[in-house]
Amino acid sequence: MSPWRRFRADRRARVGLRVLVGLLAAAVLADVLASELPLFCRVGGVTYVLPCLTEPAALRGLSRQALKASAELYVPTPIPFGPDETFAGTKARFTPAPWSPDDEHLLGTDELGRDVAARLVHGARVSLWVGLSSVALNLVLGLWLGLLAAWRGGVVDAVVSRLIEVLTTVPTLFLLLTLIGLWRVQGLWALTLVLGLTRWGELARLARAQGLQLVRQDFVAASRALGAGTGRIIARHLVPNVLGPVLVSAAFAVAAAILVESALSFLGLGVAPPTATWGELLTQAHRTLTHPGAWWLALFPGACIALTVGSLHLVGEGLRRSLDPAA
Amino acid sequence: MKRLLVLAALIVLPGCKCKPAPVDPPARGPQPTEAWLKGELPPEANQGTPVSGGTLTVRVPSEPAGLNRLHDQMIDATMVRYLMGPVYETLAEVDRAALPENGQTPLLATSWEESADHLTLTVHLRKGVTFHDGGPFTSRDVRATVEAVRNVKNQTASLRSQFVDLASLSTPDDFTVVARWSKPYAYALHNFLTSLPMMSAASLQGDFDTLPVNRAPIGTGPFRFESWETGQKLTFVRAPQYWGTPAYLDRLVMRVVKDDTVATQLWEQGEFDLMTRIQPGVWRAIEAPVGANAWAIEGYHRISFLENNYSWIGWNEERPFFKDARVRRALAMLYPAAEVARHVDLGIELPTTCPWYRLSASCDPSVTPLPYDPAGAAALLDEAGWKVREGDGVREKDGVRFRFTFLANPHSVRLAKLVPLLVTELKRVGIEMDVEKVDSAIYLSRMRTHDFDAASLAWSTNEGVRDNYQVFHSSQRDGGSNYVGYASPEVDALLEKIRLTFDPAARVELEREVHRKLYADQVYLFLTNRPALDAAKTRVRGLSASLAWYDLRKVWLAPAAGDAGH
Amino acid sequence: MGRWLGLRLLQLVPTFLGITFLTFLVARLAPGDPLQLDPDVTQGVTGQGDAQARFRAAHGLDQPLPVQYAQWLGKVARLDFGRSLHDHRPVREKLLEALPTTALLAALALLAAWAVAIPLGVRAAARPEKKGARVALQALDVAYALPAFWVAVMALLWLATARGLALFPLQGLHSDGEAGLGDLAWHLVLPVLCLTYPQLAVAARQVASAMREVLGREFIRAARARGVPEARVVWRHGLRNAALPLLAFGGLSLPHLVGGSVVVERIFGIPGMGLLAFDAVAHRDYPTVMGATTLLSVVTLLAMLGVDLVSALADPRLRAPRGAK
């Protein structure tokens, strides 16, 4: 049975993968799922398709009520609020925000009356983006450096090994705290880059260990004898053969990166406001913990993080089992 | 899924207790009194015969870098309040009865005379005063303190700026000090007498940054330093050798709790006799007359008083967008004051237009705030030449798009709430505002070097009167506090004149003039005055809340019978 | 053995240099100036120019960077981390105040993790047919997925606040005026719990897989065949042989434990290295930031060396000099 077959036969891995795909879809489609602008509308005879994506200039500056009133056809997004829309809604409310969940805001609002559901959907983008792309960078760096070390040995190996040791010894959050706190790191890209450049040690260690076993095997020696260059050997022979176990590790690394991102956000070192992130909602939850006790600000983002990390784990475990059925 | 549901139940449980009571029984539980709601101390809080003894535990929201009041890095406003009076004493102190006007009552000086030309000040020192280490207080110590401030090698720039015109300081005998100024300055006497904590000459020997007194201060006040557990608490005890009326309290404990959420919880568990910097959300939440709030309504007096501070948003006038006062006025008309007041400030902060103390005469009551008026703002922007461009709907003038970056301090909760509101409002009229989050250190250095488009700060001082020369005079653009680069010859002239005007009434007239001009020019988008929000256990007596903070020398604790206990 | 140790120690030198260089680069090249900070902005700060130049000269900030690094390294070698730019205390003093706290937290968390993970993992490996251990492992996976700061905040809400059960203290390591061990232990329960549980899932799985591997070996089958009681087979023969990979895992999880202390110490207000570094970053206090990161990394490095050493002592195969490593 091929690993993929085994993976598909694994019930828990399947569940994990489905949840993950769902979350990814939510992140990609965030603008269609939650926006101040509708999915479709017809105003003054002009039909707008997906104005929530295109944001046509003609609809700019119109409030939702005005648009709704003047539209002949109006199909709102499933969550009819944008992530940055403050004090959204038509209900008369007499207490200051945060407002608890009701029929208008199903998951409640934050301190600025922004819809929690809308912010969660858009926050998924940040979490998944940071998690996936920083680990992609980790993977590229880790695989190349790890395999290069394994292949070349000698000085290259010594240097890379020390580098790995340095990166895995310095406590992660301390390094990130210093980097992000002292440097002006706050954009999505910058954060991704920082995580991508600092967290590849474990993957490189694994790639190197796997590579060392391969290097001793005949087919690699044969290709060397045939005069293949280092890059070619690594890319053609080593990478495909170590990718499996490294990918398993990468799945867990994505989960860890998402946890780190949310922790940084919680410490006030995440992506700058007003960008919606899960960690930022949890910061608000901490602030309003007992007064007025906005439990919905703690529960839902916490659940989102747990769901993402949990599903990544199921996928990682599934990968591990399908690659190594003996374990 | 089942696990998640269990989780939900667990979170909801503690959360539920503090939700306002359901509708049917409208008010079950203790009713707060009118004074409590207003944050005024009821009369009984200051009645009775003071008794000695007991420990007062105060919540401190930040830990000072050190306790040397002269050092720039250790000068921060909260610490000044804690130490000045109880531990360190000045020659004279601010006359609390005269607040917010400048006035001085004798402390380490018994009397002083100023020459008619305002250039010579003779101070007679109190005899028989000793420092906490046993040494006598004499004119040598005054000289050492002033010299420490004036020494350019020491990090004392913020106090030193008050003494640049001090020409000489002589000490004819042990108990007389004569200060001569090179030019007259309206606040020279007040600053000299009330801003310098007297430190002993012996304790100022050595490297200024690492003096032992930076960690263990030695002063002349009624409380003596006992211990400092870093990150935890500072303890002061009654000083036996004090020259004046001894303090009532045996011990003062300043507990450092930086996190407001944690502080609230500790407060609820009765850990603080005096809780400071209560968050607006908590202040409002404990007003509901329900059983869950009994601990606060019955156990504490709420105290709210106006400090001398105001927050503002500054537009860097070197940027093309903000040169024109019409644009700045338009921005003020886009500020959603009502929404901010309701949802961010919860009706606690007071909107202002004035760079002076709200309760002083220097603010001109005839200045009315610009109304929230997006349409009017759009018209003003059009008039100033910032027209909406076809296509992306962003305003533009001479090829410059109206897109700027707001520098935000990530530690300010209030800004975190305010900024998204502003982004939305500006977007509606075709202005793009990005947000850049930088920590306090970078924040200030960028403001000082004018490397920002827009930013927000609050000015605060402990005095009722402030000289705004450093903030608004055009000469203070480099090196001073005129971060927005404001330059108006008229205001410059007025500010210079204020510094030479010794008659308070005449000064007030000039200050009102400055207020009107600054607001018309919209030098800042003036935001609000923030009142102090504190609470004291009902057994704490003799607290008098004022601009000059509490006078901890007069505080005493009623015997335990009156203790609400927790 | 001596040669192995010598080689291992020699390898520490470039790693140590790498760590210090990384720390130095990150901290010293960062924008922003330590002098520019005053948290409560008060009015009237003028004449900064000359003061800044003097400040820089006094702290050696005006030298070229390589010189600064060399100077700093020279001092670090003598355990002198300079003076804090914030409160001007010797950084060593601040570090020594904070280090024991964080070390205690990390050690307790590691012990707690083993105390739960070993019985669970062994049980899961030895009796794979039983459901209990497997379900417990899955529960740990769920727990792992919850962010530590979230759990910490919730633990505070339910177990420490007056609105919850108020079983544990909210903050700090000691009640006011108490210094007893019992009081300390009482304060440590929640922080250690929050530091431990993210490690539990990984630790338990590690134990289970190490045990599974050992229990499949020849000598175990031989022992069983000899009629050695099953409990003895598992706990004596099995665990003893699985101890090495577990030990190695302990060494590897140290950086995570120490890193996690930033969040936990901040939420529980514990004056350890994490809180120290967090505050130092906010104050742009380079010497303290650099000192904290360096010291922690070195301690972690030494702990890992210790783990290696114990492994080497216990495992004769390791005593031979290892080729590539």
The domain ranges of chain C are: 97-319
Of B89, A118, C217, give the one whose Cα is nearest residue A110. Answer: A118
Q: Mapped to the 3 state alphabet, what secondary structure does A243-270 carry? A: HHHHHHHHHHHHHHHHHHHHHHHHCCCC
Q: What is the C-alpha R_g of chain A?
A: 24
CA distance A248 to A312: 10
Domain residue spans of chain B:
46-57+222-306+532-562, 69-78+87-213, 308-529
Tell me the backbone φ, ψ of residue B524, rounded to 5 degrees: -125, 160
pLDDT in tens, A8-33: 888 888 999 999 999 999 999 999 99
* Range list of H helices, A34-187: 51-54, 64-70, 116-152, 154-169, 172-182
Residue A306 phi, psi dihedral angles, 5° rounding: -60, -40
Q: Which of B2, B271, A285, B58 is nearest to C160 (CA)?
A: B271
Which pLDDT value is given to residue C130? 80
Nearest CB to A313 within list C145, C289, C297: C145
Question: Distance from B479 to chain C by nearest Cα, in Å?
Answer: 5
Instruction: Give CA–CA dist C317/C325, Å, rounded.
Output: 14
Q: What are the structure tokens assigned to A159, written together?
A: 């240097």
The minimum CA-CA distance between B10 and chain A, rounded to whole Å, is: 10
**What is chain C's Cα-based Rg?**
24
A313/C296 touch (CB, cutoff 8 Å), yes or no:
no
Neighbours of C53 (CB within 10 A): 12
Interhelix angle A116-152/A295-323, rounded to 10 degrees, is 30
Amino acid at C142: V
Q: Min CA distance, C117 vs chain B (Å)? A: 21
**How far is residue B34's CA from residue A71's CA, in Å, rounded to a whole number?**
50
Confidence at residue B538, expressed as pLDDT on a 0 to 100 scale? 92
Nearest to C97 among B230, B445, B459 (CB): B230
Confidence check: pLDDT of B364 > 70: yes
Return the CATH fold of A117-323: MetI-like fold (1.10.3720)
Q: Which residues of chain A have a CB within 8 Å of the CB of C150?
A: 282, 298, 302, 305
Selecting from A60, A112, A272 the residue whose C-beta is nearest the C-beta of B343 gives A112
Q: What is the pLDDT of residues C101-145, one digit of tens each?
A: 999 999 999 889 888 888 888 888 888 788 888 888 888 888 888
Interchain CB distance below 8 Å, A166 and C15: yes
Q: Which chain A residues are within 8 Å of C141, Cβ to Cβ?
A: 310, 313
Q: How far apart are alpha carbons A182 and C292 in whole angstroms?
A: 14
Size of interface A-C (CB pairs under 8 A): 148
Cβ distance C88 to B231 less than 8 Å, yes or no, reads no
| pLDDT value of residue B22 | 43
Chain A residues interacting with chain B (CB cutoff of 8 angstroms): 57, 60-61, 84-87, 95-97, 111-114, 181, 184, 186, 268-269, 272-274, 286-295, 298-299, 303
Q: Which fold has domain B308-529?
A: Dipeptide-binding Protein; domain 3 (3.10.105)
Q: Which residues are bridge partners to B177 per DSSP?
A: B123
Q: Do C41 and B162 touch (CB under 8 A)?
A: no
pTM confidence score: 0.85
CA B84/CA B67 separation, integer angstroms: 11
Nearest-CB residue to B410 (from A268, A289, A295): A268
> Domain B69-78+87-213 falls in which CATH fold?
Dipeptide-binding Protein; domain 1 (3.90.76)
Check CB contact under 8 Å for A298 and B11.
yes
Quote the CA–CA distance of A48 and B12 in Å, as a whole number. Answer: 42
Q: Is C256 on the interface with A (CB under 8 A)?
A: yes
CA C251 to chain A, closest CA, distance in angstroms equals 10
CA atoms within 13 A on the CB side of B429: 23
Minimum CA–CA partner of B412 in chain A: A268
Summarize pLDDT for B38-74 with one digit per residue, the tens: 999 888 888 888 999 999 999 998 888 888 888 887 7
Q: Are strands B300-306 and B531-537 parallel, antiparallel or unpaired?
A: antiparallel
Question: Beta-carbon neighbour count of residue B170 at 10 Å?
Answer: 12
Residues A76, B173: Cα–Cα separation, whole Å:
85
CA nearest C324: which of A272, A149, B304?
A: A149
Q: Which residues of B touch A97 (CB under 8 A)?
A: 343
CA B195 vs CA A226, B159, B189, B550, C84: distances in Å = 84, 8, 10, 17, 27
Per-residue pLDDT of B294-330, as tens digits, reads 899 999 999 999 988 899 999 999 999 999 999 999 9
Contact at 8 Å (CB) between C192 and C108? yes
- Residue B59: which of B546, B410, B533 has the closest Cα? B533
Cβ pair C292:A302 closer than 8 A: no
Q: What is the pLDDT along chain A (327 residues), one digit of tens a residue?
A: 677 888 888 888 899 999 999 999 999 999 999 988 888 888 888 888 888 887 777 776 667 777 888 888 888 889 988 888 888 777 777 777 788 898 889 999 988 889 999 999 999 999 999 999 999 999 999 999 999 998 888 899 989 999 998 888 888 788 888 887 777 667 788 889 989 998 999 899 999 988 888 887 777 777 777 777 778 888 777 888 888 888 889 998 999 999 999 988 888 788 877 788 898 899 888 888 777 788 899 899 999 999 999 899 889 888 888 887 664
End-to-end alpha carbon distance in chain A: 16
Name every chain A residue with its beta carbon within 8 A of the beta carbon of B339.
Answer: 86-87
**Mutation for C interface: B259, B260, B412, most C CBs within 10 A:** B259
Please, what is the average pLDDT of chain B?
86
Which of residues 338 through 357 in chain B touch A, CB cutoff 8 A?
A: 339, 342-344, 346
Q: Which of B1, B208, B466, B481 to mutate to test the interface with C (most CBs of C within 10 A)?
A: B481
* ipTM score of complex: 0.83
Interface of A with C in 300-319 (CB under 8 A): 302, 305-310, 313
Question: Pick from C153, C256, C284: which is nearest to A182 by CB?
Answer: C284
Chain C window 59-88: which residues touch A at a Cβ cutoff of 8 Å? none
Q: Looking at residues C273-292, what average pLDDT do you find? A: 86
Cβ-count burial C129-158 (b if 16+ within 10 Å, e if not): eeeebbebbeebbbbbbbbbbbbbbbbbbb
pLDDT tens profile B485-527: 999 999 999 999 999 999 989 999 999 999 999 999 999 999 9
User: Cβ of C158 and B481 within 8 Å?
Assistant: no
pLDDT at B79 (0 to 100): 66
pLDDT in tens, C181-197: 888 889 899 999 999 88
- Chain A residue with the nearest C-alpha to that of B441: A182
Q: How many CB atoms lie within 10 A of CB B207?
A: 12
In terms of phi and psi (left: phi > 0; alpha: psi -120 to 50; beta: otherwise), the region of C177 is left
Query: For residue B452, which residues of chain C lie inside 8 Å, CB to CB?
Result: none
Nearest Cα of chain A lies from the Cα of B22 at a distance, in angstroms, of: 14
Bin C15: left if φ > 0, else alpha if -120 < ψ < 50, else beta. Answer: alpha
Residues in chain B: 566
Give all strands of the β-sheet with B454-461 in edge-to-edge order: B432-437, B403-408, B454-461, B308-315, B524-526
Distance from CA of B9 to the nearest CA of C (A): 12
Q: Would an 8 Å CB–CB cutoff place C31 in contact with chain A?
A: yes
Query: Which residues of chain A from 150 to 189 reach within 8 Å of chain C, CB to CB?
Result: 153, 157-158, 161-163, 165-166, 168-175, 177-179, 181-184
> How do residues A163-176 score in pLDDT, each as one tens digit?
998 888 888 788 88
**DSSP state letters, B76-89:** -HHHHHHHBTTTB-
Report, at the CATH architecture level, how domain C97-319 is classified.
Orthogonal Bundle (1.10)
Q: B342, A96: Cβ pair inside 8 Å? A: yes
Taking the domains of chain A in order of start, what are their residue ranges? 36-76, 117-323
Q: Which fold has domain B46-57+222-306+532-562?
A: D-Maltodextrin-Binding Protein; domain 2 (3.40.190)
CB contact under 8 A, C14 and A168: no
B338's CB contacts (< 8 A; 6+ apart) are: B372
